[in-house]
């Protein structure tokens, strides 16, 4: 077993290939880019508790070495972070196929997963970690920005100016929330147990300062809110304890949410009433006791959130499954507040809209700027997208290979993919562009506590859709495709699929892009039309999507 490298992993830049073709090179660079932007690269952990890019370092090196040798008619098969085989396929087939943390449904529990992981037989891939398309915190930034913008429209007259939000966690994705609240004009207090995580977010500019006294933090928050100043304040502490104390003192908040890694009660969430060091010791020495204490803390925290809702705050679950954990531990009112997808995002999913992203493999910032310009002129009439790209271009630091994320829908993605391929073909860009999306997308996920919570027809837990989505993307020539268990909400609670496409300027890429970037968001339109959402049915009709049962 080879150990971790001495220096952090960095994705190659430039146009010199380390592999036998750009599709292979995309997998190669994006795997490394995942580790370049990772929360804890030494442990191969990219984000979200223990979401990993590869099973162990030996697996990582073997993946890299195999990609270097992989021919353009071969496919590498990766089983939960370990490269297990290479097969001769054909040039339209994906270069890599990945399956992460999939378990037979009856055994699909965190406890069983932990046993298998301890034996070295599986790996938790989260969503974008094990499918090699993470782009750092910017991967969630527009979704978070739009979520708070929608909250502002729904409840606060269109702005968060003068409003205070309290949230938990400052990790990879949780850490972007204060920044998004600030972009919406609001003040936030983010409670994080690990000072190093806070420091990292301060360095990235996503939070303004760290305080250790919650009351002092609240006084500062109130002071800023009264003056209409936007501010992102971090408090060192445990969310369960701090929120409980705030509630007891009658501290007022306008919005209450949480994004600690509560989907994983062993490796993600830290129980209250102890220091981080004590928690890390207990995690190792007595994992069952740790899980019991973590669940009890989740109950206290969710109880406080429900009480805040009763007192008039806007409260929502931001995708970490904390309601389910509290419910399982006996708190039966845990689902009294909604999840964010049902509250804010579903209308977008109905029209095939979701978090599309593109990554400039050359590493050149100028490539990103040129692609942003083209995106802005092509989608000038899409106000939300255009505003976002302008805002992100100005305020979002580049992490890893230059990348941009923007919510695009059915039709738009295929158009944009072709334009990017044209730009590579004409030499306007220094190198090829990879395109991807979160698994948290319109047609690629079944997650009853999140993306498919309270579907109109009750089909929340039907997991055929993401599997069909993955198979369709394979059939249409995706560069690589992944299916996963448990992303976002934890093992057993979600099935989802990811894809990556490469625009390398060839005619073959153009044909693959046109098909994949049509069926991928299209499968979201179909999924929502099938569930009875009118806007999805209308779009299926107007776009000529053939759905035999609807007669379209």
Q: Which residues bind ligand NAD (CB under 6 A)?
A: 39, 47-49, 140, 143, 168-174, 191-194, 197, 238-240, 259-263, 268-270, 318-320, 440, 488
Are 255 and 312 in contact by the 8 Å Cβ rule? The answer is no
* Number of other residues whose CB lies within 10 A of the CB of residue 338: 17
28/113 with CB nearer ligand NAD: 113
What is the rounded distance in angstroms from the CA atom of residue 104 to the CA atom of residue 414? Answer: 35
CB burial readout 107-135, b (16+ within 10 A) else e:
ebebebbbebbeeeebbbbbbbbbbbbbb
Q: CA 317, CA 325: separation in Å to the nearest integer?
A: 12
Burial of 280 (0-12, 13-18, 19+ CB in 10 A): middle
Q: What is 86-146 written as a DSSP string?
A: EEE--TTS-SEEEEES---GGG-SHHHHHHHHHTTS----TTTTTTT--BTBHHHHHHHHH
H helices of 192-321, in order, are: 195-204, 214-227, 239-248, 276-285, 287-310
User: Residue 235 — φ and ψ, nearest 5°?
Assistant: -120, 130
User: Quick one: DSSP state of residue 192?
Assistant: E
User: How far, in Å, CA of 502 to CA of 500, rounded?
Assistant: 7
Give least dist CB 303 to ligand NAD, A. Answer: 14
For ligand NAD, the closer CB: 47 or 379: 47
Least distance (Å) between residue 440 CB and ligand NAD: 5
User: CB-wise, 197 or 512, nearer to ligand NAD?
Assistant: 197
Closest approach, Cβ 320 to ligand NAD, in A, equals 3
Indicate the residue among 141 and 423 with the shorter CB distance to ligand NAD. Answer: 141
Nearer to ligand NAD, 306 or 440 (CB): 440
Which neighbouring-strand residues pair with 152?
A: none
Smallest separation, CB 15 to ligand NAD (Å): 32
Nearer to ligand NAD, 140 or 232 (CB): 140
Query: Would you say 486 or 521 has its CB closer to ligand NAD?
Result: 486
Q: How far is the CB of 251 from ligand NAD (least distance, A)?
A: 17
CB of 137 to ligand NAD, least distance (A): 8
Minimum CB–partner distance for residue 271 and ligand NAD (Å): 7
Least distance from ligand NAD to the Cβ atom of residue 12, Å: 25
Give me the least distance between CB of 237 and ligand NAD, in Å please. Answer: 7
Least distance in Å: CB of 232 to ligand NAD?
15
Greatest distance between any 2 Cα atoms in the chain: 65
Q: Which is nearer to ligand NAD, 162 or 319 (CB)?
A: 319
Nearer to ligand NAD, 51 or 521 (CB): 51
What is the number of the residue whose Cβ is closest to ligand NAD?
Answer: 171
- If the CB atoms of residues 79 and 240 are measured against ligand NAD, the closer one turns out to be 240
CB of 347 to ligand NAD, least distance (A): 16
Pairing of strands 164-168, 51-52: unpaired
Nearer to ligand NAD, 47 or 410 (CB): 47
Report in angstroms how near the CB of residue 179 gets to ligand NAD at its nearest: 13
Q: Give the separation between CA 137 and CA 217, rounded to whole angstroms.
A: 24
To the nearest whole angstrom, how small is the minimum distance from the Cβ of residue 301 to ligand NAD? 7
Tell me 21's DSSP state.
Answer: S
For ligand NAD, the closer of residues 270 and 529 by Cβ is 270
Query: What burial letters (b/e) apply to 427-442, b meaning 16+ CB within 10 Å?
Result: eebbbbbbbbbbbbbb
Which among 342, 306, 302, 322 has a CA at the least distance from the CA of 49? 322
Of 37, 100, 68, 24, give the one whose Cα is nearest residue 398: 37
* CB atoms near residue 42 (< 10 Å): 13
CA angle, 395 then 197 then 171, to 5°: 70
Calpha distance 362→17 (Å, rounded): 10
Task: Pick between residue 171 and residue 400 the one whose CB is nearest to ligand NAD.
Answer: 171
């Amino acid at each position: 077993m080879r150990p971790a490298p001495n220096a952090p992993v960095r994705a190659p830049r430039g146009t010199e290939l380390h592999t036998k073709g750009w599709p292979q090179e995309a997998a190669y660079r994006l795997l490394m880019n995942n580790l370049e932007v990772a929360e804890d690269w030494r442990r191969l952990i990219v984000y979200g508790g223990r979401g990993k890019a590869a099973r162990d370092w030996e697996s990582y090196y073997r993946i890299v070495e195999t990609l270097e040798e992989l021919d353009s008619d071969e496919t590498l098969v990766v089983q939960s972070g370990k490269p297990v085989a290479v097969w001769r396929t054909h040039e339209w087939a994906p270069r890599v196929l990945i399956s992460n943390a999939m378990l037979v449904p009856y055994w699909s529990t965190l406890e069983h997963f932990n046993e298998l992981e301890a034996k070295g037989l599986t790996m938790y891939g989260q969503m974008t970690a094990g499918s090699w398309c993470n782009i750092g915190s910017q991967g969630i930034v527009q979704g978070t920005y739009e979520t708070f913008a929608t909250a502002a429209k729904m409840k606060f007259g269109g702005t968060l100016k003068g409003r205070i939000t309290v949230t938990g966690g400052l990790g990879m994705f949780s850490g972007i929330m204060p920044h998004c609240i600030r972009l919406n004009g609001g003040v936030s207090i983010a409670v994080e147990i690990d000072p190093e995580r806070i420091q990292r977010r301060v360095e990235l500019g996503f939070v303004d300062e760290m305080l250790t006294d919650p009351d002092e933090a609240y006084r500062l928050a109130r002071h800023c809110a009264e003056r209409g100043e936007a501010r992102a304040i971090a408090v060192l502490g445990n969310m369960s304890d701090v929120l409980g104390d705030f509630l007891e003192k009658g501290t007022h908040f306008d919005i209450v949410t949480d994004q600690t890694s509560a989907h994983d009660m062993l490796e993600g969430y830290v129980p209250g009433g102890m220091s981080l060091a004590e928690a890390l010791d207990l995690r190792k020495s007595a994992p069952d006791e740790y899980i019991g204490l973590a669940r009890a803390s989740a109950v206290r925290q969710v109880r406080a959130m429900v009480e805040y809702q009763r007192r008039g705050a806007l409260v929502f679950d931001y995708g970490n499954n904390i309601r389910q954990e509290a419910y399982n531990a006996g708190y039966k009112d845990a689902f009294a507040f909604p999840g964010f997808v049902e509250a804010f995002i579903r209308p977008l999913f109905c029209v095939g809209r979701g978090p599309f992203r593109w990554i400039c493999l050359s590493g050149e910032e100028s490539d990103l700027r040129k692609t942003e310009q083209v995106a802005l002129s092509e989608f000038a009439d899409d106000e939300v997208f255009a505003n976002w790209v302008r805002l992100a271009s100005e305020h979002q630091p580049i992490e890893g290979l230059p990348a941009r994320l923007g919510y695009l829908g059915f039709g738009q993605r295929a158009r944009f993919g072709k334009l990017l391929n044209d730009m590579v073909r004409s030499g306007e860009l220094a190198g090829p562009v990879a395109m991807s999306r979160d698994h948290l997308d319109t047609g690629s996920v079944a997650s009853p506590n999140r993306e498919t919570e309270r579907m109109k027809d009750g089909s929340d837990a039907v997991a055929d859709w993401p599997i069909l989505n993955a198979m369709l993307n394979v059939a249409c020539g995706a560069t690589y495709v992944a299916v996963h268990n448990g992303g976002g909400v934890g093992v057993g609670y979600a099935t989802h699929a990811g894809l990556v496409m490469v625009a390398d300027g060839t005619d073959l890429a153009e044909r693959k892009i046109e098909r994949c970037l049509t069926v991928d968001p299209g499968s979201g339109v179909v999924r929502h039309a099938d569930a009875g959402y009118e806007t999805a049915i209308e779009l299926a009709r107007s776009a000529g999507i053939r759905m035999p049962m609807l007669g379209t």
